[in-house]
A and B are shown apart, each in its own frame.
Chain A
């Protein structure tokens, strides 16, 4: 296939070992090349830059309310770890690009340049190293993601029986209904009181049964880290245990027609006493 001729084997000094040198030795030799260390250095600089942007992203996340539930805190942790793990490959890629422009040199002009670059067709070590690195990265993402998802799902859907957990508190059920373009929250266990603002007691597990009266909406409480579609003719579930007092946003995250942009409301995370008095105020029959 290739017409490239491998150069004739150079005459070697006889005392040279006939076997291939060990990998460590070859790696050390490779690092002696003028470009190798510089590319690693630039990779390092770029990794630091990525982590700085990551820090800024997390700062943005915290400054806009911050995690108000264990789920959201876990999501933030995941973002940090995924970025840290992925950044060396990203850094190496960018470093190679930068070095190729400023290290290996460049030619301008209108005429095609002379052929003076090495005719490297492939390099087994590089290919193996790259595939290993990307597979390890993908494997890490998969394992991390599956474990984390299983954990969050267990918490949200109650597959870990709540009464097995320490400090058991009975969960609150909330029926969430989306319709163009308002949210309605119903507390079936609390005398079926209805509200257009979601009020939740702090540190109580809450289960949401989400549905829609018309088109697809998406129930998104940003700082609580929960999001699920509200589908007509079907009920979807999610759950959360809020752990921070305050008022947070609920938005619709699925285009639902004319006033989609205005389909938002608030979630108030309050203390248990405040919650009980709110329920009484709303005419709720009993409190849990």
Chain B
């Protein structure tokens, strides 16, 4: 042992005692033990709660009118805890109580060393494994949500009969909405945020690797309750499940509530982890003005998730309590308020749009510099734009409630804030335009997606200008116009930028190129179908077609037929794109370390990225945007506002 004054060599650092084989309990846990344990505990909880439930009796007038809700609530709690137990999520705290500190071998086992493909099915802490888990999960969710969307469009396209009965149809639209919202929240921050961001900032892993695994497996725990609700009466009330419909709904609603409550934990944990990683683990020399802009997007999104997700969670905890514990938070007959629910819901419900859109937009800014080979235009304006949106995001929620009458005078300030948020959002558009400005574009799929996305943002923006105005919203609210508008933002802007992000980072995540020819065909087919589907939907809305209906006046037939044709085109395009992803992942052309000649750090590590990413941690001396050659116009004194010309003129 060396004395404290000497510097210890790494092998001299005292290691904690190794108990058993590396990994310990986690050697025996995986997705199968987790699922089995979840199901078993769910069954036990269901039976125990059933046995404890007071029997309904006519004699006992004080007997609570409880239905099956407590039993199913217990079942969902049992499933969540059981899954986490069985997957080994509580291994860390247990070790801590027992004083069995992790050895280096333990930590390596937990990061998935030497476990081959099985590491994707275990409680693995390596951020790259978690990133891929998130990628597959979001693709699966998008597939489920997309299938449900096809069913909706089938119903609305076949105007002469009811394909589904109203209960099934209402369940389909509710589940479609919620599945897609979850998928869109994770689709960039999950895969790219987890896989790429730590490497991008020059770190060996996330700040809290075990929390990283926990955030994914909480998401995994959250999905089955949502799917199970389809078989327990369904979420018949739209994704927003306004009260008091929420309380009237069958027990499947508990599945929805469980999903939101658990998913909010998952998002909160992931957000804390990403923020801490980015704040504390950047490479030496990576000052805040050298951080890639995508990382700023992830911070902005995480901050919003961290602040606003609890509101959504509270709304569902209180709803859960109303159902299971007979409380009356939202029951108007007993002094509750449906407006309270709506406010809590939209307090996340609107910032969530920015949680979804900001990382995708930041990814576009990142990859535009690479494919136009120009520096990011006005880096600091981009940061101001991101944090401007984050700042205002919290005070715009009630524009979803203009027509609820909850506070007529509140319409004025919320109209004001909603219209002001377009200013920082406009910064981001200027940054994109300025980066493209006067550049020769390298026309690869990720870059072409930028054009598609900005186009969709323009359409979504101009219709958003209409909707932000209270009197116009008086016409549009609750109509198909709103549906078309937010699909232009959430799908046209956010999902298409997520596709761009996945295509751009695909070579780093999988070591292979995304098949560009097939991928582009799929992308543009989906884009064309998208314009037809949602473009014509605007006109159904203008004619006065309410949303979430399964039958409607004949006046709306034409635009609905066109929408359905467009939707099927999107479906075909998506299947083609998915085929490109799967075949490229399995056997695509292998990609070099830095296929795009980009300057961010993730392209300096080999494929496949080794455990702990960097042998030697990098030192950063510049921002990653040193593209381009001196501007020929810059030497002209008469140049418009160019810094160079200003310097020239001072002499």
Contact of B472 among A78, A121, A214 (CB under 8 A): A78
- Is there contact, CB below 8 Å, between B470 and A119? no
Given contacts A50-B462, A82-B472, A120-B437, contact A145 B419 (CB under 8 A): yes
- Given contacts A1-B622, A82-B466, A90-B462, are A113 and B442 in contact (CB under 8 A)? yes
A1 lies within 8 A of B290 (CB)? yes
User: CB within 8 Å of B: which of A232-285?
Assistant: 232-234, 236-238, 249, 251-262
- Whether the pair B622, A146 counts as a contact (CB closer than 8 A) is no
Compute how far the CA of A126 lies from the CA of B648 in the bound complex, rounded to whole angstroms. Answer: 19
- Verify if A55 is at the interface (C-beta below 8 Å from B): no
The answer to whether B419 and A138 touch across the interface, beta carbons within 8 angstroms, is yes
B245 contacts A216, CB within 8 Å?
yes
**Residues B462 and A148 in contact, CB atoms below 8 Å apart:** no
- B307 contacts A by Cβ under 8 Å: no
With A116-B629, A216-B245, A261-B550 known as contacts, the answer to whether A96 contacts B437 (CB < 8 A) is yes
**What sequence of 0s and 1s flags, for each residue 609-651 of chain B, a beta carbon within 8 Å of any chain A beta carbon?**
0000000000001110011111111111111111111111111
Contacts of B132 in A (CB 8 A): none
Compute how far the CA of A9 lies from the CA of B636 in the bound complex, rounded to whole angstroms: 10
User: At the interface with chain A, which of B45-53, B191-199, B368-376?
Assistant: B368-376
Chain A residue at minimum C-beta to C-beta distance from B479: A253
Report the minimal beta-carbon distance from B88 to chain A, rounded to whole angstroms: 41
Q: Is B408 part of the binding interface, using a Cβ–Cβ cutoff of 8 Å?
A: yes
Number of A residues whose C-beta is below 8 Å from B? 118
Contacts of B597 in A (CB 8 A): 112
Is B426 part of the binding interface, using a Cβ–Cβ cutoff of 8 Å?
A: yes
- Which residues in A have their C-beta under 8 angstroms from that of B430? 126-127, 130
**In whole angstroms, what is the CA distance A146 to B635 when docked?**
48
Question: Which one, B55-63, B209-217, B535-543, is touching chain A?
Answer: B535-543
User: Which of A83, A93, A117 is within 8 Å of B454, CB to CB?
Assistant: A93
* Segment among B3-11, B29-37, B234-242, B485-493 that sits at the interface with chain A: B234-242
Asked if B381 and A127 make an inter-chain contact with CB atoms under 8 angstroms apart, the answer reads yes
Report chain B residues within 8 Å CB of A27.
640
Among A183-191, A197-205, A219-227, the stretch in contact with B: A219-227
CB pair A82–B469 under 8 Å, yes or no, is yes
Q: What are the residues of chain A within 8 A of B441 when measuring CB–CB?
A: 100-101, 104-107
Residues on B with beta carbons closer than 8 Å to the beta carbon of A148 = 469, 471
The answer to whether B634 and A118 touch across the interface, beta carbons within 8 angstroms, is: yes
Q: Are B438 and A215 in contact (CB under 8 A)?
A: no
Contact, CB under 8 Å: B622 / A3: yes
In the complex, which residues 469-526 of chain B have their Cβ closer than 8 Å to any Cβ of chain A?
Answer: 469-472, 474-475, 477-479
Q: Determine the distance from Cα of A100 to Cα of B440 in the docked complex, in whole angstroms.
A: 7
A100 CB contacts on chain B under 8 angstroms: 436-437, 439, 441
Contact at B627–A261, with CB atoms within 8 Å? Answer: no
Known: A35-B438, A122-B378, A249-B553. A71 touches B429 (CB 8 A): no
Task: Name the residue on A nearest B447 (C-beta).
Answer: A106
A71 to B451, CA, bound (A): 38
Q: A100–B433 Cα gap in the complex (Å)? A: 9
Contact B627 A123, beta carbon cutoff 8 Å? no
B242 touches A104 (CB 8 A): no
- Contact of A64 (CB < 8 Å), options: B338, B439, B543, B648: B543
Flag if B640 contacts A149 (CB, 8 Å): no
Segment among A18-26, A160-168, A169-177 that sits at the interface with chain B: A18-26
Contact B465 A257 (CB under 8 A): no
Give the distance to chain B from A95, nearest Cβ to Cβ, in Å. 10
Give the distance in Å from the alpha carbon of A104 to the alpha carbon of B435 in the complex: 13
Does the CB pair B646–A20 fall under 8 Å? yes
* Chain A, 1-24, CB within 8 A of any chain B CB: 1-7, 9-10, 12, 16, 18-21
**Contact between B454 and A97 (Cβ–Cβ < 8 Å)?**
yes
Measured between alpha carbons, how far is A77 from B644 in the docked complex, in Å?
A: 46
Assess the B465–A117 pair: CB atoms within 8 A. no
In the complex, are the beta carbons of A120 and B377 less than 8 A apart?
yes
Question: Contacts of B238 on A, CB cut-off 8 Å?
Answer: 255
- A to B CB contacts below 8 Å, 28 in the list: A1-B289, A2-B623, A6-B630, A10-B648, A12-B637, A26-B641, A27-B640, A57-B542, A74-B471, A82-B465, A90-B462, A101-B443, A105-B440, A115-B373, A120-B628, A122-B434, A130-B426, A141-B468, A141-B469, A149-B415, A149-B471, A218-B478, A222-B544, A225-B475, A227-B474, A228-B403, A233-B337, A255-B242
Per CB-CB distance, the 6 closest pairs between chain A and chain B, nearest first, are A125-B641, A233-B332, A253-B478, A236-B405, A119-B628, A112-B597
In the complex, given contacts A33-B633, A216-B404, what are 12 additional A-B residue pairs having Cβ atoms less than 8 angstroms apart?
A6-B630, A9-B644, A78-B471, A96-B436, A105-B441, A117-B439, A131-B427, A138-B422, A142-B419, A148-B471, A233-B338, A253-B479
Q: A residues bordering B, Cβ < 8 Å?
A: 1-7, 9-10, 12, 16, 18-21, 25-27, 29-30, 33, 35, 50, 57, 60-61, 64-65, 71-72, 74-75, 78-79, 82-83, 86-87, 89-90, 93-94, 96-97, 100-101, 104-109, 112-128, 130-131, 134-135, 137-138, 141-142, 144-146, 148-149, 152-153, 157, 210, 214-216, 218, 220, 222-223, 225-229, 231-234, 236-238, 249, 251-262
